[in-house]
Chains A and B, each alone.
Chain A
């Protein structure tokens, strides 16, 4: 397929649609057995910044029998042109229509990209509902963090991969290759992969509901004596040190969101903040050695020519070999004129010194995330930070010459009172006081404290999975209350739109019934919902109305511990018993120590690797 000049000359950033970047994998599509379309349901610049896609793209292309190509959501202008000219959604590598691939795989990074998944299927000419697809259509699969609650997309996606894709994708492709040769039916393939650990085929599971709309049971179907697994266990990489990692990555022409080499120091997080899904689904923490990371950095720098390397992980300060890693990287990369870009580290004398060394001299924008305004609420969410810690860090930073501080908080957390919200403003004032003290005598000139609040979204597989989100009007009232309580000129306050957080909660916690709403909203023109000006909340409300579904049932209702949750048949290795215990501790404002201080017995040790066994190595 050739995309006409006339089209590309009349869209914003045509380079989004032409491919041909450095390190792009080129294969002859005629000479492979399997063609895999890796779809990211957002624009090029966002999708190309995603580390998981880079890893899986190159991993799949290691196979000689498979050609993995990239597909991104065309921006509104390009979509318009494609429709006008009858151009279906196509891959960047060979410009092949997506509908002629064997497998079409989506990565689900955030709930508000679901309408883009639907839109991309429609643009590809692939039926949106799984049941409408036949032998001539590709299989549609999905993975990523949002796949841990696959139910809202259960009628759309043929199969889900739960857990870390690089662990399981090759097994699926092996089965596919055999199946394609055999000429067996679509269902035969799905039946076979349903027994691969980590694969979930929703059509083989039935959900029954109680009269009040809650779930009565989720059960595997019995198909002619075939008994599918009743629980789908996530897959993880046990040996993170030696797992495949690409030594070449694609270098885009146009600027993308994260335009640099990303070094993944470890996967998972030892902290266990009770609102944070990533802190639970990626358990246990698995690290790479500094030596390995330096070797990876060296190879990637050689193959890409990137001028910047960043360290990526959930809480980089917890990396056990951080000093060794940064010392070596700084020394080696200085000669090569490569910058080391630091993530938001816990601020202490080590990290401030490191920032100096890494030449992050623009002493602006130090970020702190206390998440809650009072100690009681910080203990409730298990954010192991005290006011003293924060003020000490801030003092160090101010003494080091920083004068721009960002403080991140969440509002609407379980057990929150108006005193907790007032606490946010008070904490901000204390930060300003520290600045005045440090600069005693001088006027607190040039100081800027930014307080940002997002709205709490209850997520599956966290200790807060049963919790209700505050209704939109309450969230807004709380934002106003905080705004009223911030009286100092140096403090600026930003907040998130509660409407988006509300929909996030609905689809994070949604069951199978909510899938119809996604399709309805898309029919009404919803897509790119996380792109501010594209977000059409009124259309979403109409969609719920027309489907006869109350969004508040999912977002604003607190569930009991014994209620069957839509994702209960998915197993992350972290036991429900542990999550219940953590939820109870939250209400008692009890802190649970991190994984390196003490094992709390969450269940993730069953995977047989990572932090759970660090001290048993001797």
Chain B
């Protein structure tokens, strides 16, 4: 079977489009490109595509992934060129390679990295809290044994406390290089978090946890996803890494 995996970027122009609508956009783009995509059987044939981790409305990304099942081999460079010719501004394929492993992108991804642009309020600044204070608070935050936060289950309409500590791989904070703290109070939080079907920590919930545990009032300005990752033999790989795409089964699953 010819399964090609692509890495694509989703920039500002397209950030208001929901995950479902992005999938439909790809489906129509691939039809237009005449790439020999495989279709599902049945009365309502759908292009066989699998996407990595859904991206929330408003979030941009430089590292989205999708798998396409083709009926014939198409050279990766041709695939990229043909599909890019049919994608709207804001969506762009940057890399493609055949996937020989048994895992599709959705089940393979288990880690995601983000840059979260946040702002503290005037009140916080007026309390005399410095950049160092904030960095210190973040350090304390990462050292907590457990970090409970109230999470809403939208399907069930219930809220429950969960411990997100095991889902935070690492986290750091820096001032926004474009602005001075005294002026804007803007920070960039970089975080590597568990993601995917087994455990998933959304970046906005992380910020909520920092706020409620550290007595800060970060307001999220913008979230940007910088990577999706696959863990294999205890090591973290990019989904297009040959290690991930090779036929060998992922160990330890």
Instruction: Report yes or no: B16 in contact with A8, Cβ–Cβ below 8 A.
Output: yes
B32 in complex: contacting residue of A9, A304, A359, CB < 8 Å: A304
| Residue ID in chain A nearest B17 by CB atoms | A253
Instruction: Report yes or no: B28 in contact with A304, Cβ–Cβ below 8 A.
Output: yes
Q: How many A-B residue pairs have CB under 8 A?
A: 60
CB-CB contacts of A246-281 with B at 8 A, as 1s and 0s? 000001011100000000000000000000000000
Instruction: Report yes or no: B89 in contact with A20, Cβ–Cβ below 8 A.
Output: yes
| Residues of B contacting A251 in the complex (Cβ-Cβ under 8 angstroms) | 28
Q: Tell me the complex Cα distance, A253–B28, Å.
A: 10
Instruction: Report yes or no: B29 in contact with A305, Cβ–Cβ below 8 A.
Output: yes
| Residues of A contacting B90 in the complex (Cβ-Cβ under 8 angstroms) | 20
Instruction: Report yes or no: B28 in contact with A306, Cβ–Cβ below 8 A.
Output: yes
CB-CB contacts of A15-41 with B at 8 A, as 1s and 0s? 100101110000000000000000000
Instruction: Report yes or no: B29 in contact with A15, Cβ–Cβ below 8 A.
Output: no
| Residues of B contacting A49 in the complex (Cβ-Cβ under 8 angstroms) | none
Q: Tell me the complex Cα distance, A339–B43, Å.
A: 9
| Residue ID in chain A nearest B33 by CB atoms | A305
Decide if B58 is an interface residue (CB 8 Å cutoff). yes
| Minimal beta-carbon separation of B59 from chain A (angstroms) | 10
A305 in complex: contacting residue of B13, B32, B44, CB < 8 Å: B32
Q: Which of B25-44 contact A (CB under 8 A)?
A: 25, 27-32, 39, 43-44
| Residue ID in chain A nearest B30 by CB atoms | A305
B45 in complex: contacting residue of A18, A22, A253, A337, CB < 8 Å: A337
Q: Tell me the complex Cα distance, A253–B18, Å.
A: 9
| Residues of B contacting A359 in the complex (Cβ-Cβ under 8 angstroms) | 43
| Minimal beta-carbon separation of B19 from chain A (angstroms) | 12
Q: Tell me the complex Cα distance, A92–B129, Å.
A: 43
A contact residues, range: 20 to 34
| Residues of A contacting B30 in the complex (Cβ-Cβ under 8 angstroms) | 305
B31 in complex: contacting residue of A5, A14, A21, A307, CB < 8 Å: A307
| Minimal beta-carbon separation of A9 from chain B (angstroms) | 5
Instruction: Report yes or no: B28 in contact with A9, Cβ–Cβ below 8 A.
Output: no
B88 in complex: contacting residue of A22, A255, A306, CB < 8 Å: A22
Decide if A327 is an interface residue (CB 8 Å cutoff). no
Instruction: Report yes or no: A361 in contact with B43, Cβ–Cβ below 8 A.
Output: yes
Decide if A546 is an interface residue (CB 8 Å cutoff). no
| Residue ID in chain A nearest B86 by CB atoms | A305
| Residue ID in chain A nearest B221 by CB atoms | A5
Decide if B21 is an interface residue (CB 8 Å cutoff). yes
Q: Tell me the complex Cα distance, A303–B43, Å.
A: 24
Instruction: Report yes or no: A15 in contact with B43, Cβ–Cβ below 8 A.
Output: no
Decide if A64 is an interface residue (CB 8 Å cutoff). no
Q: Which of A495-538 contact B (CB under 8 A)?
A: none
Instruction: Report yes or no: A305 in contact with B222, Cβ–Cβ below 8 A.
Output: no
CB-CB contacts of B104-121 with A at 8 A, as 1s and 0s? 000000000000000000
Decide if B57 is an interface residue (CB 8 Å cutoff). yes
Instruction: Report yes or no: B43 in contact with A22, Cβ–Cβ below 8 A.
Output: no
Instruction: Report yes or no: B13 in contact with A20, Cβ–Cβ below 8 A.
Output: yes
| Residues of A contacting B221 in the complex (Cβ-Cβ under 8 angstroms) | 5
Q: Tell me the complex Cα distance, A336–B86, Å.
A: 17
| Residue ID in chain B nearest A334 by CB atoms | B45
Instruction: Report yes or no: B58 in contact with A307, Cβ–Cβ below 8 A.
Output: no
Of A15, A255, A305, A337, most buried by chain B (CB within 10 Å of CB) is A305
Instruction: Report yes or no: B88 in contact with A20, Cβ–Cβ below 8 A.
Output: yes
| Minimal beta-carbon separation of B43 from chain A (angstroms) | 5
Q: Tell me the complex Cα distance, A305–B30, Å.
A: 8
| Residues of B contacting A306 in the complex (Cβ-Cβ under 8 angstroms) | 28, 31
Are A302 and B16 CB-contacts (below 8 A) given A15-B21, A361-B43?
no
| Residues of A contacting B13 in the complex (Cβ-Cβ under 8 angstroms) | 18, 20
Instruction: Report yes or no: A15 in contact with B31, Cβ–Cβ below 8 A.
Output: no
| Residues of A contacting B86 in the complex (Cβ-Cβ under 8 angstroms) | 305
Q: Which of A320-336 contact B (CB under 8 A)?
A: 336
Instruction: Report yes or no: A18 in contact with B43, Cβ–Cβ below 8 A.
Output: no
Q: Tell me the complex Cα distance, A9–B88, Å.
A: 21
Instruction: Report yes or no: B43 in contact with A253, Cβ–Cβ below 8 A.
Output: no
Q: Tell me the complex Cα distance, A306–B222, Å.
A: 33
| Minimal beta-carbon separation of B210 from chain A (angstroms) | 20
Instruction: Report yes or no: B27 in contact with A307, Cβ–Cβ below 8 A.
Output: yes
Instruction: Report yes or no: B16 in contact with A14, Cβ–Cβ below 8 A.
Output: yes
Instruction: Report yes or no: A15 in contact with B28, Cβ–Cβ below 8 A.
Output: no
Q: Tell me the complex Cα distance, A303–B44, Å.
A: 21
CB-CB contacts of B1-27 with A at 8 A, as 1s and 0s? 000000000000110111001001101
CB-CB contacts of A335-371 with B at 8 A, as 1s and 0s? 0110100000000000000000001010000000000
| Residue ID in chain A nearest B21 by CB atoms | A253
| Minimal beta-carbon separation of A383 from chain B (angstroms) | 34
| Residues of A contacting B28 in the complex (Cβ-Cβ under 8 angstroms) | 22, 251, 304-307
| Minimal beta-carbon separation of B13 from chain A (angstroms) | 5
Q: Tell me the complex Cα distance, A255–B18, Å.
A: 11
| Residues of A contacting B32 in the complex (Cβ-Cβ under 8 angstroms) | 302-305
Of A8, A253, A255, A303, most buried by chain B (CB within 10 Å of CB) is A253
| Minimal beta-carbon separation of B72 from chain A (angstroms) | 15
Q: Tell me the complex Cα distance, A359–B16, Å.
A: 35
| Residues of A contacting B57 in the complex (Cβ-Cβ under 8 angstroms) | 9, 14
| Minimal beta-carbon separation of B100 from chain A (angstroms) | 26
Q: Which 10 A-B pairs have the closest CB atoms?
A: A305-B28, A305-B31, A305-B32, A14-B16, A359-B43, A337-B45, A253-B21, A253-B17, A15-B16, A9-B58
Give me 16 other A-B pairs in contact (C-beta within 8 A), A5-B222, A337-B31 excluded: A9-B57, A9-B58, A14-B57, A15-B21, A18-B13, A20-B89, A251-B28, A253-B21, A253-B25, A255-B21, A305-B27, A305-B28, A306-B31, A307-B28, A336-B31, A339-B44
Interchain residue pairs with CB less than 8 A apart (26):
A5-B221, A5-B222, A8-B16, A9-B57, A14-B16, A14-B57, A14-B58, A20-B13, A20-B14, A20-B90, A22-B25, A22-B28, A22-B29, A251-B28, A253-B17, A253-B21, A254-B21, A302-B32, A305-B27, A305-B30, A305-B32, A306-B31, A307-B27, A336-B31, A339-B44, A359-B43
Residues of B within 8 A of A (CB): 13-14, 16-18, 21, 24-25, 27-32, 39, 43-45, 57-58, 86, 88-90, 221-222
